Amino acid sequence: MPIFEILSVGEELLWGLITDTNAASISRKLREIGFSASFRQTCGDDRAHLTACLKKALSRSDVIVVTGGLGPTYDDVTRDAVAEATGRSLVFHEETADRIRAFFARRGRAMADNNLLQAYVPDGAEVLPNDYGTAPGIWLETEGKLLILLPGVPREMERLMEEQVLPRLAAQSGMAGCVDVLHFFGITESELDTHIPEDLKNGADPAVAPFAGTGEVELHISAVRSTRKEARQAVCEAEQRLLKDLGGFCYGSGKTTLEQVLVERFARNGLTVATAESCTGGLLAKRLTDVPGSSAVLKSGVVAYSEEMKTRLLGVSPSIFSGDGVYSEACAVAMAQGVRALTGSDFGVGVTGIAGPGGATERDPVGAVYIAVSGKNGETARRFVLGHGKGERGFIRHLAASHALAMTLSQAGLFSWEPEKDGKEK
Amino acid sequence: MPIFEILSVGEELLWGLITDTNAASISRKLREIGFSASFRQTCGDDRAHLTACLKKALSRSDVIVVTGGLGPTYDDVTRDAVAEATGRSLVFHEETADRIRAFFARRGRAMADNNLLQAYVPDGAEVLPNDYGTAPGIWLETEGKLLILLPGVPREMERLMEEQVLPRLAAQSGMAGCVDVLHFFGITESELDTHIPEDLKNGADPAVAPFAGTGEVELHISAVRSTRKEARQAVCEAEQRLLKDLGGFCYGSGKTTLEQVLVERFARNGLTVATAESCTGGLLAKRLTDVPGSSAVLKSGVVAYSEEMKTRLLGVSPSIFSGDGVYSEACAVAMAQGVRALTGSDFGVGVTGIAGPGGATERDPVGAVYIAVSGKNGETARRFVLGHGKGERGFIRHLAASHALAMTLSQAGLFSWEPEKDGKEK
């Protein structure tokens, strides 16, 4: 098994201005085809430092994936450092220069000359064309080692990894890996852990690794075999065992999200939904419309913070504000019914509550959120206290939107989880 | 200036199961007292690998901060690796053992014997008592170098850094640092680069480092002086020089965002806004409501994808759809006017366009977005082509929302950038 090393380049990483998500993402992608990284280094935009880091990596690892430092400015030193560490010169790659010129021409913009620095590649390297930005990826086999240089912009790096690097690496190795992800909602990581068979824990193969997301838990199931088909078979068998106990909390598998599952299942069933949001302020609609094709499912969304707007836009009766109050199941129901009537959609979802940091009332702490779903078979409404009464605004809003999505799926009979009725804190 | 290195230990980091937030956090804390990390390594739970990484760090750096691998289980190898790399034996630290026993006693829990492994420290080391967990921090001066070992649990690491490590380091150095960030919109990183004076580039002090965000650019300006006040003064002077040329594109400084600047400046001026979104589908409202206090500024938001909903909710005349079409400045203007009339807000913002992946028309590629702002002084409307005609949905939507925020600020006279009138692609 070749030894892999990841080298992240960027002063902003060493400064702690950004967290290195690229390195973790590369690790996960390598594991999809059966490889693991053994070492990782981070280096700033200093050519001498980076050269030393590269030499170290070349001395101990077989495949080195470098991200960052390929841009057009003075502080992009990866090209030069790789040339120095491998004793190669940089040559001008005419095709890449044309690609960069075309990139600017397409956008109708003048190109600063320094952009052509990105067309220099180490002698003997292959270019991995980058259709999503200007700096190309570079594939350099040198003295029995393989150097893969990728841009630091996450989406450019990810596309190049998926579309070009992984297929090449998989073709070179004789092994094949398979990774699948099961997504759970409504169960905690530690509850879920007690249902994982012992023989699937602790680096076994097939292996199961739990991964706590924001208000959700994922199980990553992986196997490495001599063929992709065998690996996939091993993963499938492990999943069947897991789902026997846990199926009721599992809303999907593979690369998916609650919102994607909702859009897909609603579209398949010809159902539509509309959102009426107070504390989530558009996040619920935003998450639904993140999904391509959501226009067939989301009829409309209304963001209405104030009582005045809830009445004017959604027809919520002012008597609710003076009675149950704006933070109540009654208000959420009226919002859900209001937006459903306004848009003529099959389901209406209403969300009202306290995302914080201010606004807590005597009855409701920060994190108290009321969610209602209205459909032709009636309404479901629940009170949740999200973020343990001291969560941050963004966290509470995300959890609130997730609960709204799960309740809508559940109300439509498309997900078997149901919110508990006793208002337990989450 | 001593050379700092950060070493993160943990197999889960190399697997990409968790992102290394500790390293970024340590970097930021070091910079608060005027230090920068020059190197960073990540190593799995392998004693030989870790020993080699430590030796490398000791050979090139003066201060090495290690996190992780100090726990009580077989895969916690940091103590042993440090002992080996420094040629020291491990000695039992009675006070730490008492502290660990007390930790369990306080919680009324039985202590597994392996916990006392955490009381072994390299000979000659000082112990940094950890009040938030069992593994202590360790401060080891060895052959002119300083090794600082911290637990990997983020909260424990952070407390030890703040309460014990930073004060010790600051006392040893006589220096203080200051960092500020300037945020730019409407200018690319390479354009901006050409306006940075040469003497502020390449690790000078004060130093300027550009960082490209999604459709935005940041300049990080830092300085280290003998007092905090002097460092701040040096940063201010560098900023004044930068803003002479670039001020028109700078929308804020410090830890901020476009949406935060909009909410703050609108609130300060008693202004309100309402959003009418088609392709951004709630993202614009969501970003505004990410900001605490936004309820005073965002009157309401409407998400209306279909022509029917644009007419029913926003009063857009059907003649616009048959005339200019739903993707047009006319439609964006009608949406902006409609939501402004509906809510009685000072400004209305309309966004319509093609976020993709499907939906391109003969006239408009994916990424074509029409944005209009309506205020009491009239309307501004522009066509943009975002994401270079083939950007991803999420990227295009983010850029569209950012342009809408910037145009709204500009229309309100609160940001001097103005969108170009010739419909150039961005």
Structure ipTM? 0.80
For residue A30, the SS3 value is helix
B258-271 confidence digits (pLDDT tens): 999 999 999 999 99
**pLDDT over threshold 70, residue A47:** yes
Q: What is the per-residue pLDDT for A328? A: 97
From A330's Cα to the closest Cα of chain B, the distance in A is: 21
The better pLDDT of the pair A115, B32 is held by A115
From B305's Cα to the closest Cα of chain A, the distance in A is: 6
Closest to B325 (Cα-Cα) out of B385, B370, B375, B379: B370
The better pLDDT of the pair B149, B132 is held by B149
Contact list in B for residue A115 (CB cut-off 8 A) is: 190
Q: What is the per-residue pLDDT for A74? A: 79
Q: Is B41 in Cβ contact with A24 (below 8 Å)?
A: no
**pLDDT over threshold 90, residue A346:** yes
From B329's Cα to the closest Cα of chain A, the distance in A is: 20
Q: Is B388 in Cβ contact with A107 (below 8 Å)?
A: yes
A258-299 confidence digits (pLDDT tens): 999 999 999 999 999 999 999 999 999 999 999 999 999 999
Contact list in A for residue B385 (CB cut-off 8 A) is: 107
Mean pLDDT of B253-260: 95
Q: Which domains does chain B have, with CATH numbers?
A: 4-172 (3.40.980.10), 176-253 (3.30.70.2860), 258-411 (3.90.950.20)
**pLDDT over threshold 90, residue A149:** yes
Q: Is A303 in Cβ contact with B281 (below 8 Å)?
A: no
Indicate the pLDDT class of residue A320, thresholds 50, 70 and 90.
very high
Closest to A385 (Cα-Cα) out of A404, A369, A403, A361: A369
Q: What is the per-residue pLDDT for A389? A: 56
Mean pLDDT of A348-370: 94
Indicate the pLDDT class of residue B106, thresholds 50, 70 and 90.
confident
Q: Is A294 in Cβ contact with B281 (below 8 Å)?
A: yes
Q: Is B37 in Cβ contact with A303 (below 8 Å)?
A: no
Q: What is the per-residue pLDDT for B425? A: 44
The better pLDDT of the pair B391, A49 is held by A49
**pLDDT over threshold 90, residue A336:** yes
Helix intervals (H) in B15-137: 21-32, 47-60, 78-86, 94-106
Contact list in B for residue A64 (CB cut-off 8 A) is: none
**pLDDT over threshold 80, residue B426:** no
Residues pairing with B63 in the sheet: B4, B146
A229-265 confidence digits (pLDDT tens): 999 999 999 999 999 999 999 999 998 999 999 999 9
**pLDDT over threshold 60, residue B54:** yes
Question: Could you give the CA distance from residue A40 to residue A11 in angstroms, rounded to a whole number?
Answer: 16
**pLDDT over threshold 90, residue B222:** no
Distance, C-alpha B23 to centroid of its chain? 14
B363-411 confidence digits (pLDDT tens): 999 999 999 999 999 999 999 999 875 578 999 999 999 999 999 999 9
Residue B377 burial class via C-beta count within 10 angstroms: exposed 0-12, middle 13-18, buried 19 and up? exposed
**Which residue of B3, B180, B286, B288 is the best one to mutate when testing the A interface, meaning the one whose CB has the most A CBs within 10 A?**
B286
CB atoms within 10 A of CB A229: 11
Q: Is A24 in Cβ contact with B20 (below 8 Å)?
A: yes
Question: How high does pLDDT run on average in chain B?
Answer: 92
Whole-model pTM: value is: 0.82
Q: Is B27 in Cβ contact with A106 (below 8 Å)?
A: no
Instruction: Give the tokens for residue B402.
Output: 């950012």
B315-365 confidence digits (pLDDT tens): 999 999 999 999 999 999 999 999 999 999 999 999 999 999 989 999 999
Do the Cβ atoms of B327 and B354 come closer than 8 Å? yes
From A30's Cα to the closest Cα of chain B, the distance in A is: 9
Strand-pair category, A207-212 with B250-253: unpaired
Q: What is the per-residue pLDDT for B389? A: 57
